[in-house]
Structures are given as structure tokens and as C-alpha cells.
Amino acid sequence: MWPGRGGADIVALEQFSHRFASRRFSCLLGPSGCGKSTLLQIVGGLEKPTSGTIRIADPASPSLARPLGADSVMVWQNLNLFPWRTVLDNVAFGLEMRGVPKAERQRRSRALVGSVGLAGFEHFLPGQLSGGMRQRVALARALVLERPILLMDEPFAALDAQTKIIMQEELAYIVERTHKTVLFVTHAIEEAILLGDEVVVMSARPGRIKEVLPVDLPRPRSLEMVNTKAFGALFDHAFHLIREEVMASMKQQERALSGA
């Protein structure tokens, strides 16, 4: 366990510890079923760990730990928008639960709906929107709470390639502007390198941290960077780590099948 500095988070998983520094964009990369999503939910205070500890250090007094979930908000893989609520009411949900007066929560939600490019769609239901637009609603619903930590669980996995590129760029821009600390789960190497300040490569079950790759590509980043040497080197390295893990996890599954 390392002491957190300036609102840093400490995540312990198996015998591995990692400090997710505040205001950094950390990508968790690993084969499916390595516990990435579970890890996020534990950090968000939505699941209880069977053992181990997670500390979110209080920026005011680093020796104190903040309650889990109080400073973070999730963006879910399947979005979990409320289908009976309009775009505006979905975004306002968190403020409503907190008891913010209606006029104020509408004003703040409207501003966020606009900032994610959905002005004019305030009164649409999620079912009437495209995948990319729904994704923006989910993002706005998380951002409106102004919590410092953003937990994102493969948020763009279901989007088509073009929409995904646009959403990645917009997310990078928003995170930079709002100084969020991000834990971003993905299984796409390219996405992890394009978005992250660091890529935490995880091993197959049991989930452990295999290696932490710092990414010091300049920002703002764009898709053209994929063709640069620096990007290529990071990609190859991550790819080899991941390949070993995918092979290992496939072997595990094979063994489980033949054992059955």
C-alpha cells in the first residue's frame, strides 16, 4: 500500500497494488473475464471486495480515506439509461436524487446536454436516439455530478467504428478540460494507447496487474498517430503482453471444458 498523494487512488488486486494518480487517464487493458469490470465496480463502491483494500485519499488530508463511490461515477458498457426518462431527465437524475431544486438541476443538465452536442434533443427518449447519441447522454449524466473520478467500463464497445473515433476524441477533450481522473476499461489496445496516460495491462484470471505502460505521446492525440513509430512500439509491446494472456485464458477455458 502506498500513501496517496493529492487525491490519488490506491487499488490493490491480488498481491499487486497500483496507484491511480489523480488527474490521470488510466486504461485497464486485458482479456475478457479478467475482472476489469469487477475492479471498476469495487472502486465505485458498488461491489464489495472479498479481500484487500481500496483507498481514495482525501485531497485535503491525504491520511484520510474518502468513502468509496462518493467521488466517482460510472459510465456503463450497456449505458443503463432510464428508458422512461427523457434525455434531460436522465442527465438530471443524479442531481434529483441529491435534492437539487428542479430549476437548477434543469439548468445544469441542459448546459451539459448542450456541451455533449445534444442540444435540441432534451425531450427525446433514449429509445429514439442512435447509439452514439445515447452514449453522449450517458456521459452527460455522469459529468453533471462533477465528481472528480470517472469510471468507464468499455463505454464505446458497442459503437460503430466512425462514431467510436469521434467519441474518443470528444472524451479526451472533455477529460482534459475538466481535469478528471479516469479509469477506463477496454479490450482494444489501440483505444487504450490513444486515450491513456498509462495502460495497465491485466492478466487472465486471476486478475492481476501484469505491466504498467506509461504512454507519453503528445496531446491532443488523433488517429493519425497510429502510424507513428512511438505508437507502433507501444502497440507491439502491449500486443505481445495481451497475446500471452489471451492464450493463457483460452487454455484455461479449454482445460475447464475438457475437465467437465
Partner 1 sequence: MTAARTALEIGERALPALVVAAFFAAWEIFVRARGIPAIYLPPPSSIAVYLWRMIADGSLAINLGVTLLRIFGGFAIAGLAGVALGVLMGMSRLVARVADPWIAALYPLPKIALIPLLLIWLGTGEAYKIVISAVTAFFPIVISTYAGIREVDRGLMKAAEDLGASRRQVQLKVVIPAAIPSIFAGLHLGMGVTIILVIAAEMIGGSSTSGMGYLLMQAGQVMETEKVFADLVVLAVVGALVVKLQRWIDRKVAPWSH
Binding site for partner 1 (CB under 8 A): 41, 44, 46, 69, 73-74, 76, 78, 80, 82-84, 93-94, 96-98, 125-127, 141, 145
Q: Is 247 helix (H, G, I), strand (E, B) or coil?
A: helix
Smallest distance from partner 1 to CB 36, Å: 16
Q: Rounded to the nearest whole angstrom, what is the least distance from the CB of residue 154 to partner 1 in the complex?
A: 14
Quick one: 18 or 141, whose CB is closer to partner 1? Answer: 141
**Nearer to partner 1 by C-beta: 64 or 97?**
97
User: Minimal distance in Å, beta carbon 145 to partner 1?
Assistant: 7
Taking a C-beta distance cutoff of 8 angstroms, is the pair 240, 29 a contact? Answer: no
Residues 6+ apart with CB under 8 A from 47: 38, 41
Q: How far is the CB of 41 from partner 1 (least distance, A)?
A: 8
Residue carrying C-alpha cell 496507484: 19
CA 136 to chain CA mean position, Å? 14
In the DSSP assignment, the letter for residue 126 is G
CA dist 98 and 152 (Å) reads 22
Helix (H/G/I), strand (E/B), else coil: 170: helix
In the bound state with partner 1, the residue whose beta carbon lies nearer, of 86 and 249, is 86
Phi, psi of 173 (to 5 degrees): -65, -45
Q: How far is the CB of 210 from partner 1 (least distance, A)?
A: 28
Q: Which is nearer to partner 1, 137 or 242 (CB)?
A: 137
Residue 239 CB: number of other CB atoms within 10 A?
A: 12
Nearer to partner 1, 7 or 94 (CB): 94
Give the sheet arrangement for strand 72-75, strand by strand: 72-75, 149-153, 181-186, 25-29, 198-202, 209-214
